[in-house]
């Protein structure tokens, strides 16, 4: 098969699009009929702070960074309805995937999109001024409905950030995978290779991971600097995990249940690891 058939790009349908019931319209615009591309993977995600921070890592330190994190996590458009905060993440695949999707999506700035590409998806978005605690405008946030990878390299980084290999059918995976031969646990932001109470098993022997992720985990577990952070590797394994829920996002007054479930889950993972 032509290698171009495996070119991929990441699309995120953002909370403002969901809030304004534009999901169906966006999916129709990105359909195979219009884009010539296929779905390789999709899922609905409650975006954690870790995942948001890794996705927008290049903007850390900028005046609009905090607003950007709040935006992609759904806090801006669902300030009180925590259960509605989500994005739809999609991997599209096919020849020239990045350019084709970007063409349909339009310029990043919705105002520019309305001028240059009035029929594009982002032309339906808006620009929101970002203010500091004194009410002074310090920047702008693009509520542009949708994210699309800008380059092939960016697409690879983003797909590996938002998706595990097992989220994508084996014959549609574009990037190298590897079977783990070790246990990798995370506790309080630290990586370990043996279980401790309260730790989370990210990968176990026999699990399939991105080869680049396993290379990073091997380096970090030996105390050797790696090309990417630990958070960039583990964020995908915590997607929609109850242990990522902060108290304000937990339903009702049953917070103790979430803690108990986390303890039970850790125990189950430990027992399974002993059986392997």
DSSP three-state, residue 32: helix
**Count of CB atoms situated within 10 Å of the CB of 1:** 6
> Hunting for tokens 């801006």 — which residue is that?
76
End-to-end Cα, the chain, rounded Å: 37
Task: Tell me whether residue 183 is one of the annotated catalytic residues.
Answer: no
Q: Alpha carbon of 167 to those of 56, 159, 207: distances in Å? A: 22, 10, 13
C-beta pairs of 54-63 under 8 Å, 24+ apart in sequence: 54/161, 54/229, 54/231, 54/232, 54/235, 55/158, 55/161, 55/162, 57/232, 62/139, 63/130, 63/132, 63/138, 63/139
Of these residues, 34, 55, 77, 147, which one is catalytic? 147
Nearest residue to 247 via CA among 259, 235, 255, 257: 255
Please identify every residue annotated as catalytic: 147
């Amino acid at each position: 098969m032509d290698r171009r058939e495996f070119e991929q790009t990441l699309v995120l349908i953002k909370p403002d699009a969901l809030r304004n019931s534009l999901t169906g319209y966006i999916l129709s615009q990105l359909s195979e009929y219009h884009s010539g591309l296929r779905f390789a993977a999709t899922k609905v995600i409650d975006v954690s702070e870790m995942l948001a921070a890794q996705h927008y890592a290049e903007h850390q330190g900028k005046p609009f960074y905090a607003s950007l994190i709040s935006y992609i996590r759904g806090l801006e458009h669902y300030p009180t309805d925590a259960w509605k905060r989500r994005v739809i993440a999609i991997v599209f695949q096919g020849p020239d995937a990045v350019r084709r999707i970007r063409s349909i999506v339009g310029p990043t700035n919705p105002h520019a999109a309305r001028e240059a590409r009035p029929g594009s998806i982002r032309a339906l978005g808006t620009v929101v001024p970002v203010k500091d605690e004194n009410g002074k405008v310090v920047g702008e946030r693009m509520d542009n409905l949708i994210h699309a990878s800008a380059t092939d390299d960016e697409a690879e980084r983003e797909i590996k950030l938002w998706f595990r290999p097992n989220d994508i059918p084996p014959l549609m995976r574009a990037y190298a995978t590897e079977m783990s031969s070790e246990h990798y646990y995370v506790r309080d932001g630290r990586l370990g290779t043996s279980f401790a109470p309260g730790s989370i098993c990210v990968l176990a022997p026999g699990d399939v991971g991105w080869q680049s992720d396993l290379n990073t985990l091997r380096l970090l577990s030996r105390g050797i600097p790696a090309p990417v952070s630990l958070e960039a590797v583990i964020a995908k394994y915590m997607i929609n995990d109850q242990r990522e829920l902060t108290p304000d996002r937990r339903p009702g007054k049953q917070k103790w249940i979430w803690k108990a479930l986390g303890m039970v889950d850790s125990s189950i993972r430990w027992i399974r690891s002993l059986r392997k």
